[in-house]
A and B are shown apart, each in its own frame.
Chain A
Amino acid sequence: MDLHFTESQIAFREEVRGWLAANVPAEPLQTFDTAEGFQQHREWEATLNKGRWGMVTWPEALGGRGSDLIEWLIFEEEYYKARAPLRVNQNGIFLLGPTLMEYGTDEQKARILPKMANGEEVWAQGWSEPNAGSDMAAIRSTARLEGDRYIINGQKTWSTRAVWADWCFGMFRTDPDSERHRGLTFILVPLNSPGVTVRPIPQLDGLPGFAEIFFDNVEVAVENRLGDEGAGWSVAMATAGFERGLMLRSPARFQETARRLVELYTENRESADEDPAVKDAVLRAYLDAESYCLTTYQTACRLNKGGKIGAESSTNKIFWSELDQAMHATAMSILGARAELLPHAPAAQGVGNWLDGWLFSQSGPIYAGTNEVQRNIIAERMLGMPR
């Protein structure tokens, strides 16, 4: 055990920090849930990619740096410290990208990954359907193979970033006689295809952060199938694993929220201390964010040495989503009567972006598999309790 960064890790951190200091826009970008903000974020992805910082864990041939998980964690720490823009293409670079590297053909990798990396093609997800949420195996949208094309019909929903995205990836039932997780196929669909209708769904903040997607005899070339026909479930499970795992929710984000919460508390200490529970909540939030960081580093080091990650990754999703909710709830308590105010309200001095974070934190225990589903997975697959 050696809890010091190596010289090359320290040099890597310095390089990341230097580049971000020179390149992160001085003014925060507009939210990517607006057309203009989406475009700004797309351009930021291109900037990152040009500096080879878009996805440091990707191989050098694909514009990455072949970084291991420790360098990835270092990159994220510097990225969140620099308050760099959120990643508009996270569905692509964090979820589909790694899945493509595992299951994609060389042709698919060459065709898709470079445009994903430079923000030219932004990806949305197509998992959930109106009657297939937590029960994802209840998917009913179909894809029928005719010659060299799939004909897709049906409906997807809660598709994040779909309003302005270029492509979606998802699962479709290719065997009409199949049930549950058999007979599903993973297909990539250009959202500008004839027969695709995207209907924006306003979120709690009123902005269209996700959408419904309707497919009406949409033709998709067969080379957009990822993995074998009927093997969609196992391809999708790999993607869901990435989503819950290390890539999407690295600790830096929560540690920075915890740091800002400590700041908010100390700035408002006089009023905050009127509720004795607040100080304790701040302290616990800070420790939990630290625990999340330490545990992630321990897991990353184990994986670097060839270890595997199993059902215990379901604890990860529960831990960070409940921590995020608790931190923002505490911030709301500290802000008191100012908490409900939008940042531009005249009386909203010092509210920061806590309200935005509070809203977003409500989605954490739901998306990427509800925390109830995760608890079932933990109980059955990690602890071995009866089904």
Chain B
Amino acid sequence: MDFTFSEDQLLFQESVRDFLLNEVTPERIRASWETGSGRDPALWSQLAGLGLTGITVPEEYGGLGMTAVDFVLLAQECGYVALPEPLVHTALVAVPMLRDIGGDLAARWLPKIVAGEAIVAVGLAQNRLVEDAHVADLLLLQQGDSLLAATPDQVVLKYNQSIDPSRKLFTAKAASGLASVADGAHAATLVSSALNRGALGCAAQALGLAQRMIDLSVQYTSERRQFGKPIGSFQAVKHHMANVAVRLEYARAPTHRAAYAIANGQDIAAHAVSHAKLVACEAASLAAKNSHQVHGAMGYTWEVDLHIFMKKAWALANTWGDAGFHKSRVAARIFAQGAALGAGATFA
């Protein structure tokens, strides 16, 4: 039993955190909102240069061959800076799906992903909208019991504007007559695996977002003065933030366990992911609510950076399976007859 990350994993997290904090500033995110695509090709090249776009690509395709356990800490850091680029989607959803499809498709696209020369978007029935479809060079789309691979000229995209200016969402309609890349049970496995990985990505980013909102709020309430002292010295304000810290503290380990379960193909993976997504998104939603409250009217403005993180937290809570979806999966497990529950059952 060793529920810790290795020195290498922690060092990698640290170096990626330093990079992201330097490069993905609120100013740069705001600048990206003013561009046509909302995406920053220079930043994507930088991420590829660090090996991050190919982090989960198997070594035979030129990637780093790392797992969800290696990546989960990095996904937290992506959340901490509210990275608009689709790195979490690439590493956790698109790459594993291509790898599992294998064959020519994997051989053709995975090296390009490693090089930062291609972005692949995955659209599942569970998510009505496809993230970042407009910058995708390949779209893997669930259609009924099949999975299609479409190039941009083979789909009709319609932009759906989100309240979070960093999120770019599209309906994607594939041209008729496209050959499927997977069908039936094979497609279903690919889809459920992608959904679990996408939900894990949401959970990990939610942890980072919650931490960022705590940090912004601590800073703001330490500077803002009323009644002759910093408002952060009032217990009513302190307790708002302490409540967030408690929920966040107990959402990390479930998220790390979910990453482990996925990386090791454990039967419990779907349940572990639902658990993680529920508690991590709950922590981030509470962080958004309480951070907004302690920011007062400033938190209701466009100018203050809080909304960059708050809006992303709101969105993640309801995509890649909303709370109802994930609670149903948990309920199916714990209310089943003969379910192994209670003390000693967690790691069994």
Contacts and interface: CB of A to CB of B under 8 A. Distances in A.
29 contacts: A1-B4, A1-B69, A4-B1, A5-B347, A81-B343, A258-B341, A262-B334, A266-B335, A283-B334, A286-B341, A287-B278, A291-B253, A291-B279, A295-B250, A295-B253, A297-B253, A297-B346, A301-B4, A302-B4, A319-B250, A375-B235, A375-B238, A376-B242, A378-B242, A378-B246, A382-B245, A385-B218, A385-B233, A386-B229
Interface of A: 1-6, 9, 13, 70, 74, 76-78, 80-81, 251-253, 255-256, 258-260, 262, 265-266, 279-280, 283, 286-288, 290-295, 297-298, 300-302, 305, 312, 315, 318-319, 372, 374-376, 378-380, 382-387
Interface of B: 1-6, 69, 214, 218, 221-222, 229-230, 232-233, 235, 237-239, 241-243, 245-246, 249-254, 256-257, 260, 275, 278-279, 327, 330-331, 334-335, 339, 341-347
Contacts of B250: 288, 291-292, 295, 315, 319
A280 B327 contact: yes
Nearest to B222: A386
Given A287-B275, A382-B245, A383-B241, A1 B346 contact: no
Contacts of A3: 1-3, 257, 260, 347
3 closest residue pairs by CB, A with B: A259-B342, A379-B238, A294-B253
A2 B2 contact: yes
Contacts of A255: 341-343, 345-346
Given A375-B239, A382-B245, A385-B221, A2 B327 contact: no
B260 to A, nearest CB: 6
A80 B342 CA distance: 10
Nearest to B335: A266
A256 B222 contact: no
Given A77-B343, A255-B346, A378-B242, A70 B221 contact: no
A68 B38 CA distance: 52
Given A3-B257, A70-B1, A383 B218 contact: yes
B342 A287 contact: no
A259 B253 CA distance: 20
Contacts of A78: 343-344
Contact of A295 (B249, B260, B345): B249
Contacts of A253: 343
Given A1-B4, A315-B245, A383-B241, A286 B343 contact: no
A305 B7 CA distance: 11
Prevailing SS type, chain B contact patch? helix
A262 to B, nearest CB: 6
A385 B347 contact: no
Given A252-B344, A258-B341, A375 B275 contact: no
Most chain B C-beta atoms within 10 Å of own C-beta, residue among A6, A70, A382: A382
Contacts of A283: 327, 330-331, 334
A283 B333 CA distance: 10
In terms of DSSP, what is the predominant structure of the interface of chain A? helix
B230 A386 contact: yes
Contacts of A301: 1-4
Contact of A372 (B69, B235, B256, B342): B235
A286 B334 contact: yes
Contact of A386 (B232, B342, B344): B232
Question: In the complex, which of the residues B3, B279, B341 has the most CB atoms of chain A within 10 Å of its own CB atom?
Answer: B3
A6 B256 contact: no
Contacts of B3: 1, 3, 294, 297-298, 300-302
Contacts of B235: 372, 375-376
Contacts of B222: 384-386
Nearest to B235: A376
A288 B279 CA distance: 8
A279 B334 CA distance: 11
A19 B327 CA distance: 38
Contacts of A260: 342
Nearest to A323: B250
Contacts of A375: 235, 238-239, 242-243
A13 B344 CA distance: 10
Contacts of B1: 2-6, 9, 70, 297, 301
A253 B230 CA distance: 41
Given A297-B253, A315-B249, 11 more contacts: A4-B347, A81-B344, A286-B330, A287-B279, A294-B253, A294-B257, A379-B241, A383-B242, A384-B222, A385-B237, A386-B233
Q: Which of A74, A280, A318 has the most CB of B within 10 A?
A: A318
A298 B4 contact: yes
Contacts of B241: 378-379, 383, 385
Nearest to A257: B342
A17 B44 CA distance: 55
B4 A305 contact: yes
B341 A262 contact: yes
A126 B102 CA distance: 68
Which of A2, A283, A298, A383 lies at the interface centre, i.e. has the most chain B CB atoms within 10 A of its CB?
A383
Nearest to A287: B275
Nearest to B255: A294
Contacts of A374: 242
A71 to B, nearest CB: 10
Contact of A312 (B214, B249, B254): B249
A380 B242 CA distance: 9
A301 B331 CA distance: 29
A20 to B, nearest CB: 12
